[in-house]
C-alpha cells in the first residue's frame, strides 16, 4: 500500500487538486457524477465567466463563452446564495420559463463563497438529459467547494482573473 493512500474521498479530492490542479479536481468530481459536464463559473456583475470545464464526452473541449448571468441556472444561486439542483427541468416547476429549461435538463450547482461572505461563482454538474444526484454527493460538493475556491483565489492562479472570453451563448 502506498504512503499516499487515503480511504477518505475528500482526501482523494484534495490530492487530485494538489497534484493536478483545478482541472484534475473537476475530472475527479465528474467521475463521481452521472452528469456529462462539471464546471466552475465566476460571477462578474451581470456576466457569467466559465473558468474551468470538464466534458466527459469530449475531455479536450475548452470553455464555454461568457454569457449573461440571467440566462443560466447559476443565476438562481446568485440570487439565493444556496445550492440549487434540478434533476429533470422539464418536470420542475421552479424553472418554468427559464431560458435553459429545454436545453440543460439536469443541473446541480454549489455556491463558491469568499471568506467575506460574497459570492465568487458556482461549482456545478449539468447535462442535456435528466439525472438524479444523491444527497450525499451534493453534500460532498458543498464540502469540497471551499478547497476549489481557495485554489482559484490564490496568488498565481490565472483562471480566477483571466480576461473575459468573447460574449456568446452559454449552456447553463
CATH code for the domain of 51:
3.30.450.40
Domain that holds residue 114: 9-158
Asked, for residue 153, whether it belongs to a domain, the answer is: yes
Question: Which DSSP symbol is given to 64?
Answer: P
Across 3-7, 72-76, 82-86, 153-157, least confident range:
3-7
Question: Which DSSP symbol is given to 109?
Answer: E
Question: Which DSSP symbol is given to 95?
Answer: G
Rounded average pLDDT over 125-142 = 96
User: Cβ(71)–Cβ(170) under 8 Å?
Assistant: yes
- Cβ-proximal residues to 111 (8 Å cutoff; 6+ apart), any chain: 77, 81, 82, 83, 119, 121, 122, 145
Q: Scanning the structure block, which residue is given the C-alpha cell 493512500?
A: 5
What's the pLDDT at 168? Answer: 43
User: Cβ(152)–Cβ(40) under 8 Å?
Assistant: yes
Rounded average pLDDT over 113-128 = 96
Asked, for residue 172, whether it belongs to a domain, the answer is: no
Q: Is the pLDDT of residue 60 over 90?
A: no
Average of per-residue pLDDT values in the chain: 88
Asked, for residue 20, whether it belongs to a domain, the answer is: yes
User: Cβ(129)–Cβ(106) under 8 Å?
Assistant: yes
Give the number of domains in the chain.
Answer: 1
Task: Indicate the pLDDT class of residue 167, thresholds 50, 70 and 90.
Answer: very low
Asked, for residue 1, whether it belongs to a domain, the answer is: no
What's the pLDDT at 158? Answer: 54
Angle, helices 135-153/9-31, rounded to nearest 10 degrees: 100
pLDDT, one tens digit per residue, over 24-52 is 999 999 999 999 999 999 999 999 999 99
Question: Which DSSP symbol is given to 74?
Answer: H
Q: Scanning the structure block, which residue is given the C-alpha cell 450525499?
A: 136
- Torsion over CA: 166, 167, 168, 169 (sign): positive
Amino acid at each position: 500500500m502506498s504512503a499516499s493512500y487515503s480511504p477518505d474521498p475528500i482526501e482523494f479530492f484534495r490530492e487530485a487538486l494538489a497534484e493536478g490542479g483545478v482541472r484534475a479536481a473537476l475530472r475527479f468530481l465528474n467521475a463521481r457524477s452521472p452528469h456529462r459536464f462539471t464546471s466552475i463559473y465566476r460571477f462578474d456583475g451581470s456576466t457569467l465567466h466559465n473558468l474551468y470545464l470538464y466534458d466527459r464526452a469530449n475531455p479536450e473541449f475548452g470553455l464555454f463563452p461568457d454569457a449573461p448571468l440571467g440566462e443560466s441556472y447559476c443565476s438562481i444561486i446568485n440570487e439565493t446564495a444556496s445550492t440549487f439542483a434540478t434533476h429533470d427541468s422539464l418536470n420542475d416547476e421552479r424553472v418554468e420559463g427559464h431560458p435553459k429549461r429545454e436545453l440543460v435538463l439536469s443541473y446541480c450547482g454549489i455556491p463558491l463563497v469568499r471568506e467575506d461572505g460574497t459570492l465568487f461563482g458556482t461549482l456545478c454538474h449539468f447535462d442535456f438529459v435528466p439525472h438524479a444526484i444523491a444527497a450525499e454527493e451534493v453534500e460532498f460538493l458543498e464540502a469540497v467547494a471551499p478547497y476549489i475556491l481557495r485554489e482559484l483565489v490564490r496568488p498565481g492562479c490565472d483562471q480566477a482573473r483571466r480576461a473575459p472570453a468573447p460574449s456568446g451563448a452559454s449552456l447553463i
